[in-house]
Structure 1
Amino acid sequence: MEGKRANDRRSTEKSPRCVWVPGPVIVGAGPSGLAAAACLKGKGVPSVILERANCIASLWQLKTYDRLRLHLPKQFCELPLMPFPEKFPTYPTKQQFIGYLETYARRFDIKPVFNETVECAKYDRSLGWWRVRCVGMKEETEYVCRWLVVATGENAEAVEPEIEGVEEFRGTIVHTSSYKSGDAFEGKRVLVVGCGNSGMEVCLDLCNHNAQPSLVVRDTATSQASQGLGGSCRVAVHLLPREMLGTSTFGLSMCLLKWLPMRLVDRLLLIVSWLMLGDTTRFGLNRPRLGPLELKNLTGKTPVLDVGTLSKIKSGDIKIYPGIRRLERYTVEFANGRREIFDAIILATGYKSNVPSWLTESKMFSEKDGLPRRPFPNGWKGEDGLYAVGFTKRGLLGASMDAKRVAEDIKLCWKDEAKHFTPFSSSFSSQS
């Protein structure tokens, strides 16, 4: 009898607690998830946010460097229903933006369930519900809901590319998600891999802390992606001034696109950039064949907005190198055959979606990159009550647009459908 009771207890322990949610479940408590919850609340629809970290906006709070600011003016980065405080600067700091998000959550009474890692979300066609299984600090929980909003975004997991010889390298190798400040690299020779906004800013930060940074810039359109970071020696990046003609470059672009075709706007941007920045090819920064807006529209690759890094490149404080061929003990061999000694390598190689690792659905989201298959502006809605917020490749502005669409769509049917559901007990054993 005691053995039977022990087996019963073990069986019960393995069965997850089940929670019925009358409204949508939102996965992710970053800006996208907060925006979705606030818009839903504005429509009278309750929701539950599940967040694997112990705080909102964990990417911003835990995995960004100290000097980070918003790259775009604040009016293009505010979430729905609440503008930034007027006293904030045009480009709010990291801490100001985090403060804004915390105030946003308080204002709309958004209280995510923290430390809940979603392991599997699948649609149960026999019941017409989504079943979202999570692992928490102490127990497993299965959330049952009619609507599922994926708000984990494009930057859920750090991308750390394979580099030949990485196990031989005796220096420090870190991803920018672990980089805070150049303090730890004072006096050291540091190679920054990746020439996006993060890579450029990290190089500038290293210069300001008396390090000796170099930058790997490669043309991903012509490089051999299957061979780590090697490939073509031709390097390419669109470097634009953060502001031109007395206004933000992004704002000017948005304005011009209302009246002019994209290719003409690209030409104007490149002409003004050449007048302001000079010929960047002289410093190893060739431009891609496609214009900055067209490239962004087709591939999602964001132009780099210069905040002072180019002057350091021009002065020789930051050196430019092509792709990496391999690493040795203290040496990096580049694609052009050149070899240099470095004390540390910082991978500014970006992030990726992690949706395929937990969502058992392949019609809406691509299994290859974890992004919606349908391009913007049609990637926000799938089948069976599945939605996406924050996968537009258009930053916070795109996430806000998604959140508004999702809330409006769910509002149209949730009250009628909720009448047909009977709430379960907050805790019971579920069948897989």
Structure 2
Amino acid sequence: RHKADPERETWAEARAREARELGVHEQPYCLVIGGGQGGIMLGARLRQLGVPTLIVEKNARAGDSWRNRYRSLVLHDPVWYDHLPYIPFPENWPVFTPKDKMGDWLEMYARVMELNYWVATKCISAAYDEPEKLWTVVVDRAGERITLKPKHIVFATGAYGPPRQIDLPGADSFKGELLHSSQYSTGEKFRGKHVAVIGAASSGHDVSVDLWEAGAKVTMVQRSPTTVVKSDTLMEVGFEIFSEKALARGITTDKADMIVASTPFALVPKGQRALYDVIRERDADFYKRLSDSGFAIDFGEDETGLLMKAYRTGSGYYIDVGACELILNGEIAVKSGVGIKSLTPTGILFEDGSELAVDAIVSCTGYQSMNETVAGIVSREVADKVGPCWGLGSGVKGGPGPWQGELRNMWKPTAQEALWFHGGNLALSRFYSKFVALQLKARMEGIATPVYGEPSNSRR
């Protein structure tokens, strides 16, 4: 209310007080570990529900999880699929968002949504006190150790966990530079050099293109077949529910979210199999050319394509936004179907006896499950108790549980009390952040939240 008062506290003063006191005089009810898109969207939901929340982010700025990636990265999903809650992208936003533009949007969003957000903060350890129903979490905030006491912690550390390093015999003997894609930012220093990219999924293609644009000679080493879909095709027949045409028919992003989520996972494979029958017929010439070039293609173990690979393994697929044409033209070489025997001082020795001389190797070999991040912060025991994330399972290690056939551990209670996982792409983070936030709000308010129980029609 607009009323004269010598004790009036302005909005700016209230925000400054909240920032000073949170984590010092007042403890957050929920601590979100990870301040990328997932953590930010969940933080916004919890803020609207009045749940005291603190987000900790290891990078120097909100949005750096996008800014710090390789220079040419652009989202492969269309803008209508990627809106954040409450504040949609403006109408003049590009259909495919450049990484730095996305980073700036996330930074703006965190600020205007009034999130309590600590940058340059690394989570060191966390332990749960069962009798007290309380976590003790130690963080390093710009060199200062701070102990927090939240009731719940949410791991929002992306879709995956730590980088997956594959065993490369002879790696110690290799004289060139060897790095994982998580360490790769630009191909500029590789100009004029020969670089091998191990891996032929999304990161492998994107890094190969970035290296080629920087003037490197690139060979992609394909260890297993890849599901490839042309971007234009996927936008027309796969993403039609998230499109300008759908919006014109009144199917907003919120409506599309509900339509997609209303399909049980058990029914998704059948629909995806039918979709990829259409895609393979539509782009038959493209797939023949790609296969003839020596690139190995598949559509998943049951011919269900990209989406089911994403849900089941989070790997093995690529939405073609230009790399395939470089492969077809011979601008990016492909070594496929032959295993790596070892590295040598000058390159890679393959199991068929052939050798590839390279100056550098970029391993685009993916990431481990999110529960491996739990192992490093909480304990190996707790990480094993909750089990891996993603993949279709029960959500509860060791038993069928009430969510048989659903995604494991994501957005719902886990086997470790008061520990949650939230993440995924922008669309999944947008939609499911609402349900994680509602579950946390209910617990804060003392509302009964039974999770497991015998089905009403079960027999004893």
TM-score by length of 1: 0.79
Deviates most, 352-361 or 313-322: 352-361
Q: Which amino acid aligns with 1:384?
A: E
Deviates most, 363-372 or 109-118: 363-372
Q: Following the alignment from structure 1 to structure 2, what is the Cα–Cα distance between the partners of residues 345 and 245? A: 31
| Structure 1 position 312 matched with structure 2 position 345 | no
How far is 1:279 from its partner? 4.1
| Structure 1 position 163 matched with structure 2 position 168 | yes
- Residue from 312, 317, 321 that aligns with 1:303: 317
Q: Percent identity?
A: 25
How far is 1:241 from its partner? 0.1
Aligned residues: 381
Q: Is the 8 A contact 1:18 1:144 kept in 2?
A: no
Q: Is the 8 A contact 2:313 2:390 kept in 1?
A: no
| Structure 1 position 339 matched with structure 2 position 372 | no
How far is 1:385 from its partner? 2.9
Q: Following the alignment from structure 1 to structure 2, what is the Cα–Cα distance between the partners of residues 367 and 412? A: 22
Q: Following the alignment from structure 1 to structure 2, what is the Cα–Cα distance between the partners of residues 253 and 274? A: 25
Instruction: Spell out the pairing of 1:83-102 with structure 2 (5 A cutoff).
Output: 83-102=88-107
Q: Following the alignment from structure 1 to structure 2, what is the Cα–Cα distance between the partners of residues 162 and 20? A: 46
The residue number in structure 2 matching 1:51 is: 57
Alignment CA distance shift 1:273-1:297 (3 Å):
farther
| Structure 1 position 385 matched with structure 2 position 418 | yes
Q: Following the alignment from structure 2 to structure 1, what is the Cα–Cα distance between the partners of residues 125 and 139? A: 7
How far is 1:195 from its partner? 0.9
Q: Following the alignment from structure 2 to structure 1, what is the Cα–Cα distance between the partners of residues 234 and 115? A: 40
- Listed one character per residue, the Cα deviations across residues 253-296 of structure 1 (whole Å, up to 9, x for unaligned) are 99998796232122222222324453422122222343313433
| Structure 1 position 241 matched with structure 2 position 216 | no
Alignment CA distance shift 1:245-1:408 (3 Å):
closer
| Structure 1 position 287 matched with structure 2 position 275 | no
Q: Following the alignment from structure 1 to structure 2, what is the Cα–Cα distance between the partners of residues 203 and 22? A: 43
Instruction: Spell out the pairing of 1:209-224 with structure 2 (5 A cutoff).
Output: 209-219=214-224
Q: Is the 8 A contact 2:238 2:275 kept in 1?
A: no
Question: Secondary structure of 1:109's partner?
Answer: coil
The residue number in structure 1 matching 2:430 is: 400
- Residue from 140, 144, 150 that aligns with 2:145: 140
- Listed one character per residue, the Cα deviations across residues 113-147 of structure 1 (whole Å, up to 9, x for unaligned) are 22332222222112121221223334322211222
Alignment CA distance shift 1:189-1:67 (3 Å):
same
- Residue from 200, 207, 217 that aligns with 1:202: 207
- Residue from 30, 35, 53 that aligns with 1:29: 35
Q: Following the alignment from structure 1 to structure 2, what is the Cα–Cα distance between the partners of residues 282 and 207? A: 22
| Structure 1 position 414 matched with structure 2 position 420 | no
The residue number in structure 2 matching 1:269 is: 279
Question: Secondary structure of 2:407's partner?
Answer: coil
| Structure 1 position 173 matched with structure 2 position 178 | yes
Q: Is the 8 A contact 1:365 1:371 kept in 2?
A: no
Instruction: Spell out the pairing of 1:123-138 with structure 2 (5 A cutoff).
Output: 123-138=128-143
Alignment CA distance shift 1:278-1:89 (3 Å):
farther
Q: Is the 8 A contact 2:312 2:390 kept in 1?
A: no
Question: Secondary structure of 1:130's partner?
Answer: strand
Alignment CA distance shift 1:245-1:175 (3 Å):
closer
Q: Following the alignment from structure 1 to structure 2, what is the Cα–Cα distance between the partners of residues 366 and 247? A: 42
Q: Is the 8 A contact 2:208 2:332 kept in 1?
A: yes
Question: Secondary structure of 2:118's partner?
Answer: coil
Question: Which blocks of at least 5 consecutive residues in structure 1 are unaligned?
Answer: 1-16, 220-235, 418-432
Q: Following the alignment from structure 2 to structure 1, what is the Cα–Cα distance between the partners of residues 428 and 289? A: 32
- Residue from 64, 72, 82 that aligns with 1:67: 72
Q: Following the alignment from structure 2 to structure 1, what is the Cα–Cα distance between the partners of residues 302 and 27? A: 47
Q: Following the alignment from structure 1 to structure 2, what is the Cα–Cα distance between the partners of residues 245 and 49? A: 35
Q: Which amino acid aligns with 1:182?
A: G
TM-align CA RMSD: 2.9
Alignment CA distance shift 1:364-1:340 (3 Å):
closer
Deviates most, 265-274 or 159-168: 265-274
Q: Is the 8 A contact 2:46 2:53 kept in 1?
A: yes
Alignment CA distance shift 1:333-1:170 (3 Å):
same
Question: Which blocks of at least 5 consecutive residues in structure 2 are unaligned?
Answer: 1-22, 244-255, 396-405, 448-460
- Residue from 319, 335, 342 that aligns with 1:326: 342
Q: Which amino acid aligns with 2:52?
A: P
Q: Which amino acid aligns with 2:407?
A: F
Q: Following the alignment from structure 1 to structure 2, what is the Cα–Cα distance between the partners of residues 343 and 214? A: 11
Higher relative contact order (CA 8 A, sep 6+): 1
Alignment CA distance shift 1:198-1:246 (3 Å):
closer
Q: Following the alignment from structure 1 to structure 2, what is the Cα–Cα distance between the partners of residues 262 and 299? A: 16
Q: Following the alignment from structure 1 to structure 2, what is the Cα–Cα distance between the partners of residues 362 and 78? A: 37
How far is 1:65 from its partner? 0.5
Alignment CA distance shift 1:45-1:246 (3 Å):
closer
Q: Which amino acid aligns with 1:264?
A: A
Q: Following the alignment from structure 2 to structure 1, what is the Cα–Cα distance between the partners of residues 419 and 174? A: 45
How far is 1:184 from its partner? 1.6
Instruction: Spell out the pairing of 1:413-432 with structure 2 (5 A cutoff).
Output: 413-416=443-446
Q: Is the 8 A contact 2:388 2:408 kept in 1?
A: no
Q: Is the 8 A contact 2:411 2:421 kept in 1?
A: yes
Deviates most, 72-81 or 265-274: 265-274
The residue number in structure 1 matching 2:399 is: none
Question: Secondary structure of 1:157's partner?
Answer: coil
Alignment CA distance shift 1:246-1:253 (3 Å):
closer
Q: Following the alignment from structure 2 to structure 1, what is the Cα–Cα distance between the partners of residues 313 and 199? A: 16
Q: Which amino acid aligns with 1:346?
A: V
Q: Is the 8 A contact 1:380 1:387 kept in 2?
A: yes
How far is 1:190 from its partner? 1.0
| Structure 1 position 348 matched with structure 2 position 348 | no
Question: Secondary structure of 1:216's partner?
Answer: strand
Alignment CA distance shift 1:336-1:79 (3 Å):
farther
Q: Which amino acid aligns with 1:357?
A: G
Alignment CA distance shift 1:187-1:248 (3 Å):
farther
- Residue from 148, 153, 156 that aligns with 2:158: 153
Question: Secondary structure of 2:148's partner?
Answer: strand
